[in-house]
Amino acid sequence: MTLQAKLDAFKADFEAGKPPYNVPYSVIETMRRATAELTSLGLAERAKKVGDKAPAFTLKDAEGNALSSLELLKKGPLIVSFYRGVWCPYCNMELQALQAALPAFDKLGASVVAISPQTAPNSRKSTRDNKLTFPILSDTKGAVGDAFGLKFSLPDYLVDLYKSLKNDLPSFNDDPEWTLPMPARYVIGQDGTIIYSEVNPDYTRRPEPEELLPALRRAPKAAA
């Protein structure tokens, strides 16, 4: 089953209120409204895209080790996945799909990192729960997501909904602001140029990992 098929199946069960979700339809309506409004703002079109230079970053992994995008790019192309957090089931399914695709990425010399605004303990939970072997990086205050054009503020009505669902983003992210990145996936060539980008304000839509392979095969090398 493809990643998107798994996401669609989960979404269908969730929106149908099947156990264990049992979500009122008003919650579904609010989430749909927020996605539609975010889409209408056109933020995805303003995010970094193919042909742009990727912002360089240094972030800490779940164990507190600093990882630099520039250092990783010395080894080969870099796959960067921005995700919302361990609390997001769609994000967890995507992380699992990327893990399953690691052998194909390794053959093409690519490194993989995933970035979220969550704290290190939550990143460790992401790693543990999804059985990941690639790094999860903590983007403090969403600064790197902002540099890529992905960061947005949740509308007040969505903040109220998250609070009612005990989805406390300030606690998850150690940040008083209610912000998130739009889910996004990039492939960065060794020269720092973005050669693949997928940004979607609809968090239930994610590209298949296999879509990255053509970009990896044509990834430019670092200058000698």
- Residues labelled as active-site residues: 91
Give the contacts of 7 (CB within 8 A, at least 6 positions apart): 90, 93, 94, 204, 205, 206
Q: How many C-beta atoms lie closer than 10 Å to residue 55's C-beta? A: 17
Q: How many C-beta atoms lie closer than 10 Å to residue 219's C-beta? A: 22
SS3 34: helix
Give the contacts of 223 (CB within 8 A, at least 6 positions apart): 191
Alpha-carbon distance of 210 to 3, in angstroms, equals 10
Alpha-carbon distance of 196 to 187, in angstroms, equals 5
Nearest alpha carbon to residue 116 among 130, 104, 100, 101:
130
